[in-house]
């Protein structure tokens, strides 16, 4: 049972470092301010279930992404063939490709060459053999077929996810909450966690709308009724008004200016009517375009259109307002009015500033914990930890007396080391995690029980106390390692496959097992060895 | 000064744990049959993690919560099956709304969100929403698969570990006991109709770890005794090992049981099911080690000559074995 001095010192040092790292967790923010800077200051992260907050799992709409791409591809094909002066008929998009028929089949080769220039290498040409993002070919029935490739689609959705994460981050940051977590999960999902914010309604409103703003020409002569009665002219569409669905506008499909060209959008109030409005500013290019357009169209209406993506299963595209151009708008600034409330003006301004989402995001999983429940959970976590530990301590003292107390000290150090490791690693404590800690208390005493029962057994077999203690520790070692490692397997599986709270539980369980093996063979042993030394006689009394 | 603990275990008394084996195996078979029958007929009451749907924990802002009023308000929403469960605190209740199906323009996911919003609106100003969980059908399917995979991987991992550290017979005996524990616990969840969700799968895995821990401690002793008593009949040797470790089994189970009881009684609604599974598992784990794992080991038979194996990590001198 002898410990070399260097061993004693390193054991004490480990415990001391553990104590110092764990200690900030027991201090309030104010007390922590007085904590010296050279000491570790990190506190445990509390999980959303303890501090309250919102957890949303969002799904990108891959179909919409593909459809948008096919739409823009169709535009590109039209422009390419027109520029190359190749006549075509029947340009359209099927489920997965754009198809077009040429008037003169002899021009097929020229058309293919021109269209192939639209293809971009996947990975920006940096990845060898990655191929192109689109494929151009002919079909047996005499059409040209321009289809996105698999690699191209993957690249699209990767880019879209990155862009969506950026937009979502900017929108949530505008709420002024602290440290939201926004990460991509799998190929087409985004996980959003906002601690301390439980108004998921507001959150979902902000990130559930794509908010693609654009400025369109309203058809100068034809009314919606005429268009309905005869036919909607090519390149025009009918969109309803935001406030009154009975009012509709016949609008040119391709916009004059896109929302991407906005540099700023702020909520404000109209100086005359005192209604909430949004003021915006274009970038230089768009300011010039819009200046030219407005000088040519004085006296005619134009439409400000907001595309909110798919909401409740329907494509939500509305005309925010359709003012008449009174004079050329040259400064590149303007305002949108359209019976906003203060909050909706505020939300829309945030959305416009943050940019449009590349695709609709659907909430597929939501978990929100209000701050009061979080506080209650912390409370019940602390209560159960204290009650559990106290009960185990009382039982151990009853069963093993002084050595039982040694075990309790070891368990306390064990818990502290777990907290210290978790603070150091920046891992998150969840309510199941607290359960894991309490369970660790129960299991940590098991190693001590194994040792003590072994010592008793050796003494019953007639050994002297000191050699019984010696072989008790030695013989229990293999058993403790075996039994703890099997539990560890279950813990690792949970960590690997679990998420959120379950993972938090797995972390505390695994750390608990490691700490248990450490304390049983160093801390408890050291205490027993010091006790033997304190007896000052070679023939020590039976301790158990 | 030295205060010793109370060694309350009657070490002198030697229990013949194999004598009542037939009776015990009969009892456990009946329990197992009930458990399996319940799981397959009544099924598990999957929580929304696995079934999809919405769950809201609500609290009256003042006074007690009028459950019947709440029920009548929510029943007009036309959202299918809505369960309202009162909690220990009369101000609190849990509302469960079943998985919505796709209808018209709405996908199932969107219908789900819409349903949760309707409930939120119907609650009005007098009721606080403390927790909302909405899980769509796609996610719940994935979580269910992940849960099944997790349990299977844990069992396989443990099987290989025990096989590697002992012999295949030990591995098989341990796994049979483990599967028995998991089945019985699932049966209890099914019989009592308790919610079974992600937290409960975590409890099942912990239970697996705990139960195997117990089994391994006894197998360890069996192996040690195999080295020591080369001629003793296996049944007698296993019984001796069980007796030698019984006091430890009792003390450890009691202390873990005490710790988990604290979680069960004071831990709050969220981890109630988790604590229940653990409490149940501690009892079942001890039972299965004695009733299933060790008799199975005797039945399968083990290699008797352990003297030459180098597989032992313990530096056990041969002299000690003779003593």
> Domain of A510: which CATH number?
1.20.1640.10
> pLDDT per residue over A209-223, tens digit each?
888 888 888 888 888
Residue B308, pLDDT score: 52
In-domain check, residue A364? yes
C-beta atoms of A489 and B106 within 8 A: no
**Do A15 and A146 belong to one domain?**
no
ipTM above 0.85 for this complex: no
Cβ-based contacts of B149 with chain A (< 8 Å): 497
Cβ-based contacts of B132 with chain A (< 8 Å): 200, 366-368
Nearest residue of chain B to residue A378 (CA atoms): B267
**Do A329 and A230 belong to one domain?**
yes
CA–CA separation, A193 and A20 (whole Å): 30
Q: Which two tokens stand for residue A389?
A: 């530990």
- Collapsing DSSP to helix, strand or coil, B24 comes out as helix
Residue A127, pLDDT score: 60
CA–CA separation, A324 and B94 (whole Å): 54
**pLDDT at residue B187 greater than cutoff 90:** yes
Q: Tell me the pLDDT band of B1, cut-offs 50, 70 and 90.
A: low
Point out the domain boundary residue: A368, A389, A409.
Answer: A368
In-domain check, residue A232? yes
Residue A451, pLDDT score: 92
**Do A75 and A177 belong to one domain?**
yes
Q: Where are the alpha helices (DSSP H) in A122-272?
A: 150-173, 200-208, 224-229
**Do A179 and A216 belong to one domain?**
no
**Do A295 and A276 belong to one domain?**
yes
**pLDDT at residue B321 greater than cutoff 60:** no
Q: Which domains does chain B have, with CATH numbers?
A: 21-45+140-306+318-322 (1.20.1640.10), 53-135 (3.30.70.3400)
In-domain check, residue A262? yes
CATH of the domain at A292: 3.30.1360.200
Cβ-based contacts of A314 with chain B (< 8 Å): 105
Whole-angstrom Cα Rg for chain A: 35
Residues contacting B289, CB < 8 A, separation 6+: B177, B211, B214, B215, B218, B249
Burial of B26 (0-12, 13-18, 19+ CB in 10 A): exposed
Residue A500, pLDDT score: 64
**Do A511 and A401 belong to one domain?**
yes
Residue A126, pLDDT score: 61
What are φ and ψ of residue B34, in 5° steps? -60, -45
Point out the domain boundary residue: A135, A167, A184.
Answer: A184
Residue A396, pLDDT score: 92
Residue B318, pLDDT score: 43
**Do A386 and A496 belong to one domain?**
yes
Polymer length in residues for chain B:
323
Cβ–Cβ under 8 Å, residues A323 and A301: yes
**Do A383 and A530 belong to one domain?**
yes
Residue B184, pLDDT score: 94
- Which range of A485-499, B46-60, B95-109 scores highest in mean pLDDT? It is B46-60
Instruction: Please name the residues between 45 and 104 in chain A that touch chain B, using a CB distance below 8 Å.
Output: 49, 57, 59
Point out the domain boundary residue: A336, A368, A400.
Answer: A368
In-domain check, residue A539? no
**Do A41 and A118 belong to one domain?**
no
Cβ-based contacts of B121 with chain A (< 8 Å): none
In-domain check, residue A200? no
Tally of domains in chain A: 3
> pLDDT per residue over A102-131, tens digit each?
888 888 888 888 888 888 887 765 666 667
Query: Is B258 an 8 Å CB contact of chain A?
Result: yes
**B2, B198, B217 member nearest A479 (Cβ):** B217
Query: Is B216 an 8 Å CB contact of chain A?
Result: yes
In-domain check, residue A191? no
Cβ–Cβ under 8 Å, residues B276 and B194: yes
Burial of A335 (0-12, 13-18, 19+ CB in 10 A): middle
Mind telling me how many Å the CA of B106 is from chain A's nearest CA? 5
**pLDDT at residue B322 greater than cutoff 50:** no
- Collapsing DSSP to helix, strand or coil, B111 comes out as helix
**Which residue, among A399, A475, A484, would best test binding to B if mutated, counting the most B CBs under 10 Å from its CB?**
A399
Residue A124, pLDDT score: 63
**pLDDT at residue B75 greater than cutoff 50:** yes
What are φ and ψ of residue A330, in 5° steps? -105, -20
Mean pLDDT of A63-77: 83
What letter does residue B105 receive in the DSSP assignment? T
C-beta atoms of A399 and B6 within 8 A: yes
Query: Is A384 an 8 Å CB contact of chain B?
Result: yes
**Which residue, among B143, B163, B198, B256, would best test binding to A if mutated, counting the most A CBs under 10 Å from its CB?**
B256
Residue A151, pLDDT score: 86
CA–CA separation, A413 and B224 (whole Å): 31
Q: Tell me the pLDDT band of A332, cut-offs 50, 70 and 90.
A: confident
Nearest residue of chain A to residue B220 (CA atoms): A479
Q: Tell me the pLDDT band of B189, cut-offs 50, 70 and 90.
A: very high
DSSP secondary structure of A98-126: EEEEESSGGGHHHHHHHHHTT--BGGGGT
Instruction: Give the structural domain span for A157.
Output: 53-184
- Collapsing DSSP to helix, strand or coil, A247 comes out as coil
In-domain check, residue A204? no
Mind telling me how many Å the CA of A426 is from chain B's nearest CA? 22
**pLDDT at residue A32 greater than cutoff 50:** yes
Query: Is A455 an 8 Å CB contact of chain B?
Result: no
> pLDDT per residue over A448-476, tens digit each?
999 999 999 999 888 888 889 999 999 88
Instruction: Please name the residues between 131 and 160 in chain B that touch chain A, using a CB distance below 8 Å.
Output: 131-136, 138-139, 146, 149-150, 153-154, 157-158
Q: Tell me the pLDDT band of B185, cut-offs 50, 70 and 90.
A: very high
C-beta atoms of A489 and B157 within 8 A: yes
Mean pLDDT of A336-351: 82
Query: Is B104 an 8 Å CB contact of chain A?
Result: yes
Q: Tell me the pLDDT band of A178, cut-offs 50, 70 and 90.
A: low
DSSP secondary structure of A349-402: HHHHHH---SS-EEEEEEEEE-HHHHHHHHHHHHHHHHHHHHHHHHHHHHHHHH
In-domain check, residue A103? yes
> pLDDT per residue over B215-263, tens digit each?
889 999 999 999 888 888 988 999 999 999 988 999 999 999 999 999 8
Place of tokens 């909401």: A311
Query: Is A397 an 8 Å CB contact of chain B?
Result: yes
**Which residue, among B213, B243, B261, would best test binding to A if mutated, counting the most A CBs under 10 Å from its CB?**
B213
Query: Is A460 an 8 Å CB contact of chain B?
Result: yes
**Do A10 and A90 belong to one domain?**
no
> pLDDT per residue over A249-307, tens digit each?
998 888 888 777 888 888 888 888 888 888 888 888 888 888 888 888 888 888 888 88
**B6, B205, B252 member nearest A398 (Cβ):** B6
Q: Where are the beta strands (DSSP E) in chain B?
A: 45-46, 53-60, 82-86, 92-97, 127-135, 195-196
> pLDDT per residue over B284-297, tens digit each?
988 998 888 988 89
Nearest residue of chain B to residue A365 (CA atoms): B135
Mind telling me how many Å the CA of B52 is from chain A's nearest CA? 9
pTM: 0.76
**Do A333 and A406 belong to one domain?**
no
**Do A218 and A343 belong to one domain?**
yes
Mean pLDDT of B148-162: 86
> pLDDT per residue over B4-13, tens digit each?
888 888 877 8
Cβ-based contacts of B244 with chain A (< 8 Å): 457
Q: Which helix (H) or strand (E) holds A54?
A: strand A53-60
Residue A501, pLDDT score: 66
């Amino acid at each position: 049972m002898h410990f070399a001095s260097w061993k004693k010192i390193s054991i004490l040092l480990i415990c001391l470092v553990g104590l110092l790292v764990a200690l900030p967790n027991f201090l309030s923010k104010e007390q922590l301010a007085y904590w010296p800077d050279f000491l570790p200051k990190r506190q445990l992260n509390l999980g959303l279930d303890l501090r309250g907050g919102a957890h949303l799992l969002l799904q990108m709409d891959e179909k919409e992404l593909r459809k948008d791409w096919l739409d823009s591809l169709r535009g590109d094909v039209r422009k390419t063939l027109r520029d190359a002066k190749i006549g075509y008929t029947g340009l359209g998009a099927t489920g997965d490709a754009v198809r077009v028929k040429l008037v003169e089949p002899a021009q097929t080769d020229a058309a293919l060459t021109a269209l192939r220039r639209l293809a971009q290498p996947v990975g920006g040409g940096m990845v060898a053999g990655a191929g192109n993002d689109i494929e151009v070919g002919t079909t047996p029935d005499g059409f040209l077929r321009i289809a996105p490739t698999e690699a191209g689609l993957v690249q699209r959705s990767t880019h879209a996810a990155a862009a969506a994460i950026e937009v979502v981050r900017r929108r949530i940051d505008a709420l002024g909450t602290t440290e939201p977590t926004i990460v991509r999960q799998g190929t087409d999902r985004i996980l959003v966690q906002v601690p301390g914010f439980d108004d998921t309604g507001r959150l979902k409103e902000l990130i559930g709308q794509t908010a693609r703003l654009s400025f369109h020409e309203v058809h100068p002569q034809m009314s919606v009724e005429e268009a309905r009665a005869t036919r909607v002219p090519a390149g025009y569409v009918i969109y309803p008004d935001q406030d009154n669905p009975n009012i509709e506008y016949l609008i040119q499909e391709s916009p004059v200016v896109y929302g991407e060209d906005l540099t700023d959008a702020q909520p404000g109030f109209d100086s005359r009517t005192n209604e909430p409005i949004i003021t915006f500013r274009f970038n230089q290019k768009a300011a010039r375009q819009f200046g030219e357009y407005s000088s040519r169209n004085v006296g005619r209406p134009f439409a400000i259109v907001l595309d909110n993506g798919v909401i409740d299963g329907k494509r939500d595209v509305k005309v925010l307002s359709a003012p008449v151009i009174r004079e050329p708008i040259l400064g590149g600034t303007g305002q949108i009015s359209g019976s906003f409330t203060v909050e909706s003006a505020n939300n829309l301004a945030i959305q416009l500033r943050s940019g449009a989402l590349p695709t609709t995001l659907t909430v597929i999983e939501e978990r929100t914990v209000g701050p009061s429940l979080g506080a209650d959970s912390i409370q019940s976590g602390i209560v159960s930890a204290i009650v559990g530990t106290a009960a185990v301590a009382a039982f151990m003292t009853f069963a093993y007396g002084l050595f039982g107390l040694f075990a309790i000290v070891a368990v306390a150090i064990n818990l502290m080391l777990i907290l210290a490791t978790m603070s150091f690693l920046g891992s998150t404590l969840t309510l199941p995690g607290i359960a894991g800690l309490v369970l660790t208390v129960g299991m940590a005493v098991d190693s001590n029980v194994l040792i003590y029962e072994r010592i008793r057994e050796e003494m019953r077999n007639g050994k002297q106390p000191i050699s019984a203690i010696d072989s008790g520790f030695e013989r229990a070692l293999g058993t403790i390692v075996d039994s703890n490692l099997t539990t560890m397997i279950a813990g690792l599986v949970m960590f690997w496959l679990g998420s959120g709270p379950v993972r938090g539980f797995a972390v505390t369980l695994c750390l608990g097992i490691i700490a248990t093996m450490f304390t049983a063979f160093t801390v408890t042993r050291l205490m027993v060895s010091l006790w033997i030394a304190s007896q000052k006689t070679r023939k020590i009394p039976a301790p158990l | 000064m030295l205060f010793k603990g109370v060694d309350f275990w009657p070490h002198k008394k030697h229990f013949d744990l194999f004598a009542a084996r037939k009776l015990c195996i009969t009892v456990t078979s009946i329990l197992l049959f009930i458990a399996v029958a319940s799981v397959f007929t009544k099924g598990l009451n999957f929580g929304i993690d696995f079934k999809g749907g919405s769950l809201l924990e609500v609290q009256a802002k003042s006074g007690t919560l009028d459950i019947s009023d709440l029920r009548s308000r929510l029943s007009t929403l036309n959202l299918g099956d809505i369960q309202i469960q009162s909690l220990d605190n009369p101000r609190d209740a849990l509302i469960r709304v079943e998985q919505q199906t796709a209808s018209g323009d709405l996908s199932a996911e969107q219908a789900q969100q819409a349903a949760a919003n309707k409930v939120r609106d119907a609650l009005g100003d007098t009721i606080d929403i403390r927790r909302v969980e909405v899980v769509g059908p796609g996610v719940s399917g994935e979580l269910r698969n992940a849960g099944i995979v997790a349990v299977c991987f844990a069992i396989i991992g443990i099987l290989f570990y025990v096989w590697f550290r002992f012999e295949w017979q030990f591995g098989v005996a341990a796994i049979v006991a483990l599967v028995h524990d998991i089945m019985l616990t699932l049966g209890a969840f099914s019989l009592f109709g308790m919610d079974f969700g992600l937290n409960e799968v975590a409890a099942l895995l912990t239970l697996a770890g705990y139960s195997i821990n117990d089994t391994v401690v006894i197998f360890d002793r069996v192996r040690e005794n195999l080295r020591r008593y080369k001629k003793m009949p296996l049944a007698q040797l296993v019984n001796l090992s069980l007796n030698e470790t019984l006091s430890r089994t009792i003390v450890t189970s009691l202390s873990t049981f005490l710790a988990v009881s604290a979680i069960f009684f004071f831990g709050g609604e969220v981890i109630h099911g988790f604590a229940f599974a653990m409490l149940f598992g501690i009892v079942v784990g001890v039972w299965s080690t004695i009733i299933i794992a060790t008799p199975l080991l005797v039945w399968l038979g083990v290699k008797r000559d352990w003297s030459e194996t180098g597989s032992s990590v313990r530096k056990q001198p041969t002299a000690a074995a003779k003593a």
